[in-house]
């Protein structure tokens, strides 16, 4: 049964995934187990993407299916059992940039892989992002950019994290089509990518996940 749910997700069979989820919950199956089976499907999708057999389109579609399935499952999880995240991640687009496509894809993928994600939104002042890191005790903070004017604000956010004594406890990720390893060094980030799934893999690896 669980194999079937993950296979359906891998095949991007949206209607069948949602019907299966509803059917299994209807037989009073443990909702956490159903959720984990969906996550197994996302892991398979991620593996195919990393092998080059899947493309961003399939990542997006599978994550959208997962989001719909999770919306059915999560109200049935008790509060205590819902707290099973792999880590806390803040993701935002910093001041000067209001693009949100890449940010939203990363957030959906991170959630589908079991991370608790807070969306900081777009056009976020670096000081606000740092304050949110402090409040949330996040393990990761990710800054997305489509335009190069975001780079100085990423750098400022890292400087403010250092000044607040927070830099050692949070990993800083940057991403977006205009970022490069050189920009990572300029900003002082720990990780850079133009590929959302690489960002998920970095978070998984850092937290000891698969």
Partner 1 sequence: MAGEGMSGTERLWAAIRLEKTDRVPIVPTLLAEPAAHLAGITRAKVAADNALALDAILQVFDDYGGWDSIYPGSYTPQQLQASNVNPMKVRIPGRDLPDDYMWQLVEEEILQPQDYDRISEMGIDGFYYQDYLGRISSLSTDDVNREILALFTTFQRFLTECQKRKVKPFFMGNGMHPFFTLSLMRSMVGFTKDLYYHPEPVERAIRRMTADLIAHQIPLTKESGLGTWLFTEERASGYFYPPAVFERFWWPYTKQVVDAFWSEGLVTIFHLDQRWDKNIPYFRQLPRGSFILELDGNTDIFAAKEVLRGHACFHGDVPAALLSVARPEDVHAYCRKLVELVGDDGGFILGSGCSVPCNVEPGNFKAMLEAGRGARG
Footprint on this chain of partner 1 (rule: CB under 8 A): 12, 14, 54-58, 60-61, 64, 96-101, 147-149, 151-152, 177-180, 182-183, 186, 194
DSSP secondary structure letters along 32-64: HHHHHHHHHHHHHHHHHHHHTSS-HHHHHHHHH
* Minimum separation from the CB atom of position 111 to partner 1 (A): 15
Our CB check for partner 1 shows the closer of 127 and 180 to be: 180
* Minimum separation from the CB atom of position 165 to partner 1 (A): 27
Our CB check for partner 1 shows the closer of 7 and 58 to be: 58
For the chain, the first-to-last Cα distance in angstroms comes to 23
Q: Which two tokens stand for residue 148?
A: 């190069």
* Minimum separation from the CB atom of position 135 to partner 1 (A): 26
Our CB check for partner 1 shows the closer of 74 and 185 to be: 185
List for the chain the helix, strand, coil content (%; round to 5). 60, 15, 25
Our CB check for partner 1 shows the closer of 127 and 148 to be: 148
């Amino acid at each position: 049964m669980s194999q079937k749910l993950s296979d359906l997700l891998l095949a991007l069979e949206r209607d069948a995934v949602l019907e299966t989820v509803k059917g299994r919950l209807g037989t009073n199956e443990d909702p956490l187990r159903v959720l984990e089976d969906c996550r197994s499907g996302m892991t398979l999708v991620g593996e195919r993407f990393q092998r080059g057999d899947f493309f961003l389109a399939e990542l997006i579609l599978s994550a959208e299916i997962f989001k719909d399935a999770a919306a059915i499952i999560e109200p049935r999880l008790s509060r205590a059992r819902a707290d099973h995240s792999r880590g806390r991640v803040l993701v935002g687009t910093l001041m000067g940039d209001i693009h949100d496509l890449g940010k939203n894809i990363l957030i959906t993928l991170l959630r589908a892989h079991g991370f608790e994600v807070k969306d900081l939104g777009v056009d976020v002042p670096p000081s606000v992002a740092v304050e949110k890191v402090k409040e949330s005790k996040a393990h990761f903070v990710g800054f997305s950019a489509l335009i190069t004017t975001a780079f100085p604000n990423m750098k400022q956010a890292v400087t403010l994290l250092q000044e607040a004594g927070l830099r050692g406890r949070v990993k800083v990720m940057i991403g977006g089509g205009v970022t490069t390893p050189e920009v990572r060094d300029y900003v002082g980030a720990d990780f850079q990518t133009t590929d959302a799934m690489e960002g998920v893999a970095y978070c998984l690896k850092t937290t000891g996940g698969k």
